[in-house]
Amino acid sequence: MKSIWAENIQRPKFETLKKDVKTDVLIIGGGIAGILCGYMLQKSGIDCVLVEADKICGGVTGNTTAKITLQHGLIYDKIIRKYGVDRAKMYLKAQQEAMDTYEKLCQKIDSDYKLQESYVYSCNSVYDIESELAAYEKIGLNANLLYDIPLPIKIKGALLVKNQAQFHPLKFCFSLAKELTIYENTKVIEVFKGGAITNRGKILAEKIIVATHFPFMNKYGGYFLKMYQHRSYVLALENTPLPNGMYVDADENGLSFREYNGKLLLGGGSHRTGKKGGNWNELRQFANINYPNFKEIAHWATQDCMTLDSMPYIGVYSRKIPNVYVATGFNKWGMTSSMAAAIILRDMINGRQNDCAEVFSPSRSVMHSQFAVNMAETLVNFITPTVPRCPHLGCALKYNKAEHSWDCPCHGSRFTKDGKLIENPATDDKRM
C-alpha cells in the first residue's frame, strides 16, 4: 500500500543524531508541518534542528491528496456561528497567506504545482451550501453557487472558488528539507525545560515545536480529549474521466475528487479510527458503477486529527510550558494549515505580532459537544476488558480488517498485526 507520491521519487537521506547538540529551536516531527516550520524559521535567521523518529514525510504527508485551498468544507459558517465574523476573517487571512506563500515557493520548486478551481458540494442540503455562501459574502470571499457539477453524483448545491491549487507534496517537501538540519531515526523520549532527550542523545533548545501530527505529551494541553482521529482512503484510477478541478463533499464521510498526471484520485470511505467504515470497498463500488472500465493503479489511506471546532491548534502547547509550541488538528486540510502554522509560529518565536494567531490558540474554549463525545469514547474503551491495549492511555484496540492493523478508537494510534507502532500519539508498541 503506497501512495502515488512515493513512486519514482528520490528520498533524501539524513543522518541519525550521534551526539548532544544545541540549537535555538528544536522541531519534533518531520512531516510537512515540521519541515515548513524549520524552513520559515531558518529563513528568518533562527537556528533550528528537526528530528524525526523514522523517515521524513513517512506518515500523513506522503498520503495526502495535496489540495492547496482555503475552502475547508463549510468552515466559515461554523466559525461565524461560534465565534463571529472577525474570527472567520482571521481564518481566511491565514489561509490566503498560506496559499500565496505556496505560490511563491513553487515558482522555484519543481512540485507539479497547478492552479485549479475548487468545489465544495453537498448531496444532502442546499441550505448548508447557501449558508456557507452567506458566510463567504460576510468575509469577502468570492464564490459561485452551482446546482450541478460534472461528476456522476447528484448534489443539492456546490460552491466554486477559483485560483486554488494542487501539487506533489513529496517533491515540495524534499526540496525544502535539503536546506535544513535534520536527524532521522531519532526519537524524542522526553521533553524538559531547555531541551529534549532522544534515543540518540540530548538536544538543548531555547524553544520547541511539537509537529508530530498528534501531540505526544499527555501531561499538558489535554489534546487527547480535544481531538480524535479520522481515517480516509484513496484510489488512484486510470481509464476514467478526469475532473476539471478539485471536489470535496461537505460531509466528512463523503467523496473527494482530483486528478494527477492522467489519473483520478478518488477519496472517501471515511470513519473514526478504530470504528467501522466503507474504506476502499466503498470507493471500488462507486468506481464499478460509475467508471466500469477503470483500472486501479494504487490505493492508500491517511489519517487526520479532528478538533472540537474544526480549526487547528497552533500556538503555545500549554500555558504551563510557554516555550513549547504545537501545530496540530488540521481537520483534513493539512496543506494550507501547515503553512499557516509555520508562518504563525515563526512570528511568535521571533516576538512578532501575528494578526491571525488568536483564532488558532490551543487554549481556546473546550465547550463543544464533541468534547463530551471524546470523553465518552475514551471511557468506554478504557473500561473494555479486552486485549490488546494501546500503550498511550490503555484503551482497548480494535482490529482493522481492511488494513490488517490494530487501531485505537480513543485517540487514533495504530499498530501492525505484530504490534509495531504505525501512527501516534502512542510512542511504544502495543501491549498484550
Residues 300-312: tens digit of each pLDDT:
999 999 999 999 9
Q: How far is CA 22 from the centre of its chain?
A: 29
Contact 33, 334 (CB under 8 A): yes
Tell me which H or E stretch contains 33.
helix 32-43
Q: Lowest mean pLDDT of 112-116, 207-211, 423-427, name the range.
A: 423-427
Segment 89-116 shows an average pLDDT of 97
Please write down the long-range contacts of 104-109, taking CB distance under 8 Å and 24 or more positions apart.
Answer: 105/172, 105/176, 106/165, 106/167, 106/172, 109/171, 109/172, 109/175, 109/176
Pairing status of strand 295-307 against strand 21-28: unpaired
In total, the chain counts a number of residues equal to: 432
Contact 230, 252 (CB under 8 A): yes
Segment 253-268 shows an average pLDDT of 96
Segment 320-330 shows an average pLDDT of 97
What pLDDT is stored for residue 430 in this prediction? 66
Rounded to whole angstroms, the Cα distance separating 153 from 132 reads 21
| Three-state secondary structure call for residue 32 | helix
Region at 178 (left for phi over 0; alpha for psi -120 to 50; beta for the rest): alpha
Nearest to 41 by CA among 406, 361, 367, 344: 344
What pLDDT is stored for residue 431 in this prediction? 63
Which are the contacts of 383, defined by CB distance < 8 A and separation ≥ 6? none
- All three cell numbers of 158, joined, read 456546490
What pLDDT is stored for residue 306 in this prediction? 96
Question: The cell 491548534 sits on which residue?
Answer: 313
What pLDDT is stored for residue 199 in this prediction? 94
Q: Lowest mean pLDDT of 41-55, 113-127, 214-228, 373-387, name the range.
A: 373-387
Which are the contacts of 216, defined by CB distance < 8 A and separation ≥ 6? 188, 210, 424, 425, 427
Q: Lowest mean pLDDT of 179-183, 241-245, 385-389, name the range.
A: 385-389
Q: Lowest mean pLDDT of 46-50, 72-76, 255-259, 274-278, name the range.
A: 274-278
What pLDDT is stored for residue 391 in this prediction? 85
Confidence of residue 429 (pLDDT cuts 50, 70, 90): confident
At residue 356's C-alpha, the angle toward residues 34 and 113, to 5°, is 50
What pLDDT is stored for residue 58 in this prediction? 92
Contact 27, 209 (CB under 8 A): yes
Tell me which H or E stretch contains 205.
strand 202-210
Contact 335, 64 (CB under 8 A): yes
Segment 405-421 shows an average pLDDT of 87
- Give whole-number Cα distances, 196 to 63, 226, 323, in Å: 29, 24, 12
Nearest to 251 by CA among 234, 271, 275, 229: 271
Question: Residue 65 half-sphere exposure, CB side, CA atoms within 13 Å?
Answer: 28
How far is the first Cα of the chain from the last one, in angstroms, to the nearest whole number?
26
Domains in the chain (CATH in brackets) are 4-64+170-225+310-360 (3.50.50.60), 369-423 (2.102.10.10)
Q: Taking 90 as the threshold, does the pLDDT of residue 138 lie above it?
A: yes
What pLDDT is stored for residue 376 in this prediction? 77
What pLDDT is stored for residue 373 in this prediction? 80
What pLDDT is stored for residue 205 in this prediction? 98
CB atoms closer than 10 angstroms to residue 399: 12
State the average pLDDT for the chain.
94
- All three cell numbers of 372, joined, read 463530551
The percent of residues above 90 in pLDDT, for the chain, comes to 81
Residues 144-192: tens digit of each pLDDT:
999 999 999 999 999 999 999 999 999 999 999 999 999 999 999 999 9
Q: Taking 90 as the threshold, does the pLDDT of residue 244 lie above it?
A: yes
Segment 361-381 shows an average pLDDT of 83
Give the E-state strand segments of 69-148 in sequence order: 114-122, 144-146
State the pTM of this model.
0.94
Q: Taking 70 as the threshold, does the pLDDT of residue 432 lie above it?
A: no
Give the E-state strand segments of 217-262 in sequence order: 227-238, 246-249, 256-260
Q: Taking 80 as the threshold, does the pLDDT of residue 387 lie above it?
A: no
Task: Kindly give the interhelix angle for 32-43 and 334-349, rounded to the nearest 10 degrees.
Answer: 40
Question: The cell 474554549 sits on which residue?
Answer: 365
